[in-house]
Amino acid sequence: MTKGGMHGGTHMAQGSPTSGLDPSDRVACKVQEWGAGAAAWLTRAALEMGRCLFIIFVAIITSTTMIEWWPMLVAPLMAKNRG
């Protein structure tokens, strides 16, 4: 969505020479748009990364606790099955 908006803005700037923007204004505008897009992308990437790390962290904790508790959970069930 942000990418589409960014491209739309740059095309508008390029396609309308009658708008009265000189090249330096146009470049500043593009840089501003690009910066905003990059900031949004970085924010999204950071959130995704944080979520992935959190999931991995939880998975590691649960797996280690499962390894520790597994014999205690399985032993009674095995004994019940044997009996």
The 10s digit of each residue's pLDDT in 1-43 is: 545 544 544 445 555 555 566 788 888 888 889 989 999 999 9
* CA distance linking residue 38 with residue 8, whole number of Å: 16
Distance in angstroms (rounded) separating the CA atoms of residues 67 and 63: 6
Q: How many domains does the chain have?
A: 1
* Range of the structural domain that residue 51 is part of: 2-82
Determine the pLDDT at residue 81: 76
